[in-house]
Amino acid sequence: MNKFFKVTGIIGLTALLLAGCSSDSNATNDSSQAASSSSTQMATEQAIDVSLPAQLSTLDTTQTTDKVTFTVAQQIFEGLYRLDETSTPVPGLAESVDISDDGLVYTFHLRDDIHWSDGTPITSNDFMYAWKKLVTPETAAPNAYWLDSVVNSADARQGNADVDSIGLAAPDDQTFEVTLANPQSSFLSVISIAWLAPQNEEYVEALGDDYASSSENMIYSGPFILENWSQVSNTWTLTKNPEYYDADVVQLATVEGSTIVEENTGINMFDTGELDLTRISGQFVQQFQDSEALVNQQEISNYFLDFNKTTNDALANAHLRKAIALAIDKEGLVNNVLADGSTVLNGLIPANLYTNENTGEDFRAYSGEYNVYDLDAAAEEWEQATSELGDSISLSLLANDSDNGKRIAEYIQAQLQDNLEGLTVTIDQQPSNNLNQSRRDGNYEMSLSGWIAGSNDLNSYFNLYRSGSSYNYGGYENEEYSALVEQANTTDANDIDAMFTDYQAAEEILLAEDAAQVPLYQSAANYLVNPNLQNVIYHSYGDYYNFREAYLTE
């Protein structure tokens, strides 16, 4: 048997367990409809206007963390692989990959016609530089853990090994070799997201701290170029990248983007033709339920409430956390407040993220449900908490300043104050970028936040609460939990049944025993989209929407 097999198209032999493609029950402009409309005449002017609900943060791909920014990053930066219309990894800047029989060695063969937007050739060293930069401790990259499966990478990001010792090699300009310490079935999914896109060392180092501070201080490897953007901008522009290797499939000449926090503003602009795509939620979804412009998608996400015991000693009390977890009617939240297709979630891992290929069982179904709404059980935990902490407890709740964020925060506030007598909850609403910084700084007591799948990797969720994780903002510590997650990623990485057992035990500790997080709901994404805008892709991971092959019809 040959040591290597070659993958040149949609993944087959590696059997990546991706979530199913999204269902657009009201969509008239999804990829399947676009295919059937291929004979429709294209518009002479291929220019659209779209919105996102928050400002873009940093576009240094080693530092980007939020999905709003990744929505743009995925248009302007492409890596070795990319996601197709079904969210399956397919070759991007790499033409093919050889994967060793033991699943440890990936040898990527780059295309011979790939260039940066300034005409400079893209080489294997661009990947070598970007990936090493990601795990260099001095850069403090939040997503460095994505390369933990690479030999010596985890040790390098923790400062316990030389970055040059990690399992990467570039034997020539068109060959990039990655050696894993443990098999990772989600690896091609992980590298299809912009956090592992290339960076040109000479260009980046010449700019220093100015790199990625504005659209003028970047060069691009994806189908579009970013223009008219700086880190304080509420607007930005995408233009077609003539140097992109597959430029012939890119039909849109320009995409004008803007930050619109108030959904009603976006709807009014859509109605007057000023926007071709805008995101909506809650009551607005019901308002447009019968409109051909409505596109909906079930996201692979966990929107949750979590705690920071370092800022309020009361939150160190497990009975208080359990009382809060049990006192929130999630059915009322999704049906009466959100009313947009979101579903109740009673676990860390959302549905449809990962399926056991041996049993066909989705992890969410396998692991079960935790802290289901139960007022009697909540009262028991609350009684125990108040006997230890006193009858009057005050907590603050950090939430997004969007319409949706306000509605959710007020609902949680009412539920907790009504169901747990003596508890006072004050709401602290902040813009998305401020909220994210407050969480990073640990400047909150309770927080409403979300984690949307960046790939189909289970560890991306469990990593939120591992000791030492850059996302463990509330300082959760449980040695047994961290050991189980480590075991799932190393010893049991190639045994899916054992991996599921490890993760289920870790989830039980996190939610049932410690109530360190309160999962609330799995979100739905809803958009108003110009029916003449065809072939927009709504990936399960990485971005809200993608315009690589989108186009306007007359």
Give the DSSP H/E element, type plus range, for residue 324.
helix 318-326
- 382 CB-near residues (< 8 Å, 6+ apart): 319, 320, 323, 327, 420, 421, 423
Q: Helix, strand or coil for residue 54?
A: coil
Looking at residue 5, its pLDDT comes to 32
Strands 301-307 and 446-452, by their bridges, are antiparallel
Task: Say how far apart CA 541 and CA 21 lie, in whole Å.
Answer: 10
pLDDT range class, residue 9, cuts 50, 70, 90: very low
- 126 CB-near residues (< 8 Å, 6+ apart): 198, 199, 200, 201
Give tens-digit pLDDT for 359-415: 999 999 999 999 999 999 999 999 999 999 999 999 999 999 888 899 999 999 999
Nearest to 279 by CA among 71, 23, 519: 71
Looking at residue 453, its pLDDT comes to 80
Instruction: Express the helix, strand and coil content of the chain in percent, nearest 5 each.
Output: 35, 20, 45
Give the DSSP H/E element, type plus range, for residue 451.
strand 446-452
SS3 assignment for 247-311? HHHCCCCEEEEEECCCHHHHHHHHHCCCCCEEEECCHHHHHCCCCCCEEEEECCEEEEEEECCCC
Give tens-digit pLDDT for 261-315: 899 999 999 999 999 999 998 889 989 999 999 999 888 999 999 999 999 999 9
Q: What is the mean pLDDT of the chain?
A: 90
Backbone angles phi, psi at 73, to 5 degrees: -60, -35
Cβ neighbour number for residue 498 with a 10 Å cutoff? 14
Nearest to 94 by CA among 71, 111, 119: 111
Are 190 and 145 contacting, i.e. CB atoms less than 8 angstroms apart? no
pLDDT range class, residue 186, cuts 50, 70, 90: confident
Task: Say how far apart CA 453 and CA 77 lie, in whole Å.
Answer: 19
Contacts 24+ apart (CB under 8 A), 421-425: 421/382, 422/386, 422/391, 422/392, 422/393, 423/382, 423/393, 423/394, 423/395, 424/392, 424/393, 424/394, 424/395, 425/394, 425/395, 425/396, 425/397
Nearest to 176 by CA among 216, 211, 130: 130
Nearest to 428 by CA among 415, 447, 455: 447
Are 47 and 277 contacting, i.e. CB atoms less than 8 angstroms apart? no
Strands lying side by side in the sheet with 446-452: 343-344, 517-522, 301-307, 446-452, 393-400, 423-430
Strands 254-259 and 47-52, by their bridges, are parallel
Give tens-digit pLDDT for 410-435: 999 999 999 999 999 999 999 887 99
Are 391 and 339 contacting, i.e. CB atoms less than 8 angstroms apart? no
Q: Helix, strand or coil for residue 178?
A: strand
Mean pLDDT of the 514-524 span: 96
pLDDT at 35 over 70: no
Q: What is the DSSP string of 108-139?
A: EEE-SS-B-TTSPBP-HHHHHHHHHHHH-GGG
Looking at residue 36, its pLDDT comes to 38
Strands 168-172 and 175-179, by their bridges, are antiparallel
Task: Say how far apart CA 198 and CA 219 lie, in whole Å.
Answer: 10
User: What single-letter DSSP state applies at residue 107?
Assistant: E
Greater model confidence, 294 or 35: 294
Are 418 and 324 contacting, i.e. CB atoms less than 8 angstroms apart? no
Strands lying side by side in the sheet with 175-179: 4-7, 94-100, 105-110, 175-179, 168-172
Are 226 and 220 contacting, i.e. CB atoms less than 8 angstroms apart? yes
Backbone angles phi, psi at 267, to 5 degrees: -65, -45
Task: Say how far apart CA 120 and CA 135 lie, in whole Å.
Answer: 25
Nearest-Å Rg of the Cα atoms of the chain is 23
Are 486 and 264 contacting, i.e. CB atoms less than 8 angstroms apart? no
Tokens representing residue 218 in the block: 């970047």
pLDDT at 82 over 70: yes
For the entire predicted model, the pTM comes to 0.77
35-44, 117-126, 133-142, 292-301 — most confident range: 117-126
